[in-house]
């Protein structure tokens, strides 16, 4: 597996964009979901995310407004204090983001200060086991430049589809 600090430099932006177009033209929606899910299970099974945490380092944490009271309680704070200590409003909409990047809830050992109260979006990242991969491929292009496992899934899919060979014809 590629090292977390190498993924952005090694991900091939142009090739990945072409592969996204290739999948849009050639992949079956359900089959692609199955392929993503199979590779997700295989590759995350042996991977220790606490040694990576690129997803917490390269984005600000995004906290839904409906999580605020629960998260504040988890940290033993009032909702007002929780917001004042850690958060600012996102530019658009009603949700919040952390004041800093890396996310303010990322701890030294790679764990999340919010524990099981971490946002649903963080729990689902990098979304490679979620349905409707074919319609989410544009988002995947960013993800494969951040997440080593998503990067590897994309590279394996290129092989399974014979993408490099077929795209040279």
Q: Is 40 in the site for ligand SF4 (CB under 6 A)?
A: no
Out of 23, 39, 56, 137, the residue judged to bind ligand SF4 by CB under 6 A: 56
Backbone angles phi, psi at 59, to 5 degrees: -125, 155
Terminal Cα distance for the chain, rounded: 29
User: Of 126, 137, 152, 161, which one interacts with ligand SF4 (CB under 6 A)?
Assistant: 126
The least CB distance from residue 126 to ligand SF4, in Å, is 5
Segment interacting with ligand SF4 (CB under 6 A) among 72-80, 87-95, 143-151, 158-166: 143-151
Q: Which stretch binds ligand SF4 (CB under 6 A): 8-16, 33-41, 114-122, 134-142?
A: 114-122
Piece in contact with ligand SF4 (CB under 6 A), picked from 9-17, 26-34, 122-130, 155-163:
122-130
Least distance to ligand SF4 from the beta carbon of 102, Å? 8
- DSSP lists the bridge partners of residue 89 as 96
CB closer to ligand SF4 out of 48 and 91: 48
State the nearest-atom distance from the C-beta of 124 to ligand SF4, in Å: 10
């Amino acid at each position: 597996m590629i090292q977390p600090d190498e993924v952005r430099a090694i991900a091939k932006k142009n090739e990945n964009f072409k592969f996204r177009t290739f999948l849009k033209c050639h992949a079956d929606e359900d089959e692609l979901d199955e392929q993503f899910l199979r590779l997700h299970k295989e590759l995350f099974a042996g991977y220790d995310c606490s040694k990576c945490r690129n997803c917490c380092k390269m984005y600000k944490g995004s906290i839904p407004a409906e999580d605020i009271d629960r998260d504040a309680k988890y940290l033993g704070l009032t909702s007002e204090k929780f917001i004042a200590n850690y958060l600012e409003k996102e530019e658009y909409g009603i949700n919040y983001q952390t004041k800093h990047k890396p996310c303010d809830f990322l701890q030294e050992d790679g764990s999340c200060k919010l524990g099981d109260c971490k946002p649903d979006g963080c729990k689902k990242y990098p979304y490679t086991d979620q349905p409707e991969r074919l319609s989410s491929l544009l988002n995947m292009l960013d993800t494969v430049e951040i997440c080593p496992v998503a990067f590897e899934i994309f590279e394996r899919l290129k092989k399974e589809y014979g993408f490099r060979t077929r795209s040279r014809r």
